[in-house]
Amino acid sequence: MLFIQTINLTKKFESVIAVNQLNLEVRKGEIFGLVGPDGSGKTTTLRMLCGILPPDAGEARVSGFDIRKDTESLKGKVGYLPQKFGLYGDLTVLENIDFYADLYQIPRKDRKDRIRRLLRFANLEPFGNRKAQDLSGGMKQKLGLICAMIHTPEILFLDEPTTGVDPLSRRDFWVILYDLLKEGVTILFSTSYLDEAERCNRIGLIYQGEMLVSDTPSAVKTRIRGTVLELRLENYQKGMRILETFKPFRNLVLSGDRIHLLVDDPQEGERILRETLKREKLTLFSLNAVKPSLEDAFVSMVKEREKGNHRK
């Protein structure tokens, strides 16, 4: 069952097309990752789907509601955690939650048990009387999630919620998201972190407002055409500068201290690579063909798209 569906959804800001004829499908009970760099249209897409921002063209339905016509009905079905959540620093954790409960008109008699359960769920129960401004970044995001969940939404929209959050807090946040999935909540999660995309049921790679591909993370990686060669060099920064100028290598990705190169012919690519490194006196520690990463796939698809646009 589709809980979110868009058909040619489009949004412009003056002469800039922020979202361009976006087609998106999110199934009930899954976590879908909308993945792309800054400025790719992720935030604009989420704001349209929440009913905050009207589209200029196209259609979208969320939990059966038309985002143009049913914005008031939609509010009770969705929770939205923006990049910069509107917490009030001089209010305590409990006071912030009560404020959002008032906004959603949650009856007083229903609040106590619901708030206690959400605090326990997010491991914030001991911090109910602490001011929001005194929380860590990860704890603030958990509080924001509680406020977005206070009215028990069916769908949760999260706009890069782990940006700037330490690794341990990111891990804890994902534990909470997986627990929400078990309770039947559908989650649309935007991120620029490709390692987080691996945790999603399905992902959509978005670039300059256009959907490049939508599938499972493993299926997206199989769409890459060619072979990925992974090499370790004594000086990988210098290696990147040199290899970027060679046409046989369709794209280069720096992955930690390793360089990934996409080539059409692995044997010919390896031959040229070894000759080049020898000529430039760069010490090669290892060279192997490896399975593509999501970053390899994303860079390859962006390059193909730009090449296609250039031909036009």
Segment 165-187, tens digit of pLDDT: 788 888 888 888 898 898 899 99
248 — phi, psi (to 5°)?
Answer: -60, -20
**How distant, in Å, are the alpha carbons of 31, 79, 86, 99, 156 from that of 186?**
6, 10, 23, 25, 6
Tell me where in the chain the CATH 3.30.70.270 domain(s) lie: 225-291
| CATH tag, 225-291 | 3.30.70.270
C-alpha 304: how far from its chain's center?
Answer: 21
pLDDT of residue 57: 97
Q: Is the dihedral of CA 36, 38, 43, 44 positive or negative?
A: negative
Check residue 308 and give its pLDDT. Answer: 62
What residue ranges of the chain are covered by domains with CATH 3.40.50.300?
2-220
- Give pLDDT tens digits for 233-289: 988 888 888 888 776 777 889 888 899 999 989 999 899 899 989 998 999 999 999
Q: Which amino acid is located at 14 in the chain?
A: E
**Is 2-220 a domain of CATH 3.40.50.300?**
yes
- Residue 41, C-beta contacts closer than 8 angstroms, at least 6 positions apart: 11, 18, 19, 20, 22, 206, 208, 209, 210
Specify whether the CB–CB gap between 244 and 251 falls below 8 A: no
Cβ neighbourhood burial of 273 (10 Å; 0-12, 13-18, 19+) = buried
What are the backbone angles phi and psi of residue 227, rounded to the nearest 5°?
-120, 140
Q: Model pTM?
A: 0.88
